[in-house]
Amino acid sequence: MKHVIDSTDLTVEEIDGILKLAQDIIDDKEAYSEACKGKKLATLFFEPSTRTRLSFESAMMELGGNVLGFSSADSSSATKGESVGDTTRVVSCYADIIAMRHPKEGAPMRASMVSGVPIINAGDGGHNHPTQTLTDLLTILREKGRLDNFTIGLCGDLKFGRTVHSLIKALSRYENIKFILIAPKELRVPEYIISEVLEAKNIPYEEVESMEEVMSELDVLYMTRVQKERFFNEADYVRLKDTYILDGKKLKNAKSDLAILHPLPRVNEISVEIDDDPRACYFRQVMNGKFVRMALMLTLLKANGAKLNLSADKLAKIPE
């Protein structure tokens, strides 16, 4: 049984295949519109979400399948004390594939150990968010035309931001990427990412506190919100929440083809005046998220032996 729990559970070749498939879906949506006829996706969301849950659901609907699930722990048997393992075992009797979000790191991994159907981690605590990473990779590929040879600045809450951890791990496998980590001291990237990923692979990186100082070097700027719900005390959150606010003035020295990404939700960290700048990619990124989840679900369903309702040439486009 194949699951996707961590952004490196897929090989670079599998990721490239999924991104290619997503682009084929974008170009030829109609051909995929019945691919998952009779299939069901369950979304088990123990933590709030707008984009991730709705994009999964919309992705399955666009493949002709159905969706069921819950959008908060309060409306599930978790409130009665049921374990993640038991909930998963039960739901895997009802659905062909499961997307799970959970505030506890490792919960989707636990679910994958007992599930009869593929589990996709839709975000676990401050740990990992592999489908956001696929979204980010597809966005960089479509905006820049490549996934190698660039400098990326990651800015904001690099400590608690799971999208950042996943993206660094995934990008560390492509050629000639330089990371500039822009964060206040309190919100720097966790030590294990530095030592086990960046230093272990000899990848160039810099840690800085000022965004302006590095702006002119960046090809991609990945903004993130300060993760209020993962702070231990309100005073620290209030002190740090507005450390970075990207506005027109800060972009003065930026490259003309900079790609500005944000996993969203945005709080204050990007001024709305930037939204109409052609370099602002975050709403296009949202759209990419739906297509890449369609591609991922097709790939996992096929890998686990499900019969898909697709023509032979489209079936052949799904990575093995």
Site for ligand NCD, rule CB under 6 A: 51-52, 123, 129, 132, 162-163, 224-225, 263-265
Instruction: Report whether 288 contacts 139 (CB < 8 A).
Output: yes
**Can you say how many angstroms the Cα of residue 29 is from the centroid of all Cα atoms in its chain?**
22
Q: How far is the CB of 307 from ligand NCD (least distance, A)?
A: 31
101 has catalytic annotation: yes
Q: Does 101 carry a binding-site annotation?
A: yes
228 or 255: whose CB is closer to ligand NCD?
Answer: 228
Q: How far is the CB of 224 from ligand NCD (least distance, A)?
A: 6
Task: Report which of 168, 267, 274, 254 is spatially closest to residue 211, judged by C-alpha positions.
Answer: 254
Q: Does 262 carry a binding-site annotation?
A: no
162 or 317: whose CB is closer to ligand NCD?
Answer: 162
Residue with nearest beta carbon to ligand NCD: 263
The catalytic position among 3, 39, 53, 101 is 101
129 has catalytic annotation: yes
| Residues 304, 54: Cα–Cα separation, whole Å | 24
CB-based contacts of 153: which residues, under 8 Å, 6+ apart? 180, 181, 182, 211, 214, 215, 217, 218, 220, 221, 222
Virtual CA dihedral for 73, 77, 82, 84, nearest 10 degrees?
Answer: -50
Q: How many residues are listed for the chain in this entry?
A: 320
Q: Does 80 carry a binding-site annotation?
A: yes
139 has catalytic annotation: no
Instruction: Report whether 161 contacts 229 (CB < 8 A).
Output: no
Which residues in the chain belong to E strands, given as ranges?
Answer: 40-45, 66-70, 97-102, 119-124, 150-155, 177-182, 205-208, 220-223, 259-261
Q: How far is the CB of 49 from ligand NCD (least distance, A)?
A: 6
The catalytic position among 2, 37, 51, 284 is 51
Q: Does 132 carry a binding-site annotation?
A: yes
Instruction: Report whether 126 contacts 161 (CB < 8 A).
Output: yes
39 or 290: whose CB is closer to ligand NCD?
Answer: 290
The catalytic position among 3, 40, 43, 52 is 52
Q: Does 129 carry a binding-site annotation?
A: yes
Q: How far is the CB of 150 from ligand NCD (least distance, A)?
A: 22
The catalytic position among 40, 102, 127, 129 is 129
248 or 265: whose CB is closer to ligand NCD?
Answer: 265
Q: How far is the CB of 125 from ligand NCD (least distance, A)?
A: 10
Task: Name the one residue in this structure whose structure tokens are 């369950």.
Answer: 42
Task: Report which of 171, 61, 88 is spatially closest to residue 53, judged by C-alpha positions.
Answer: 61
Q: Does 265 carry a binding-site annotation?
A: yes
| Residues 295, 104: Cα–Cα separation, whole Å | 27
84 or 286: whose CB is closer to ligand NCD?
Answer: 286
| Residues 104, 258: Cα–Cα separation, whole Å | 35
Q: How far is the CB of 90 from ligand NCD (least distance, A)?
A: 25
Q: Does 142 carry a binding-site annotation?
A: no
Binding residues for carbamoyl phosphate: 51-52, 101, 129, 132, 264-265
Binding residues for L-aspartate: 80, 162, 225
Catalytic residues: 51-52, 80, 101, 129
Binding residues: 51-52, 80, 101, 129, 132, 162, 225, 264-265
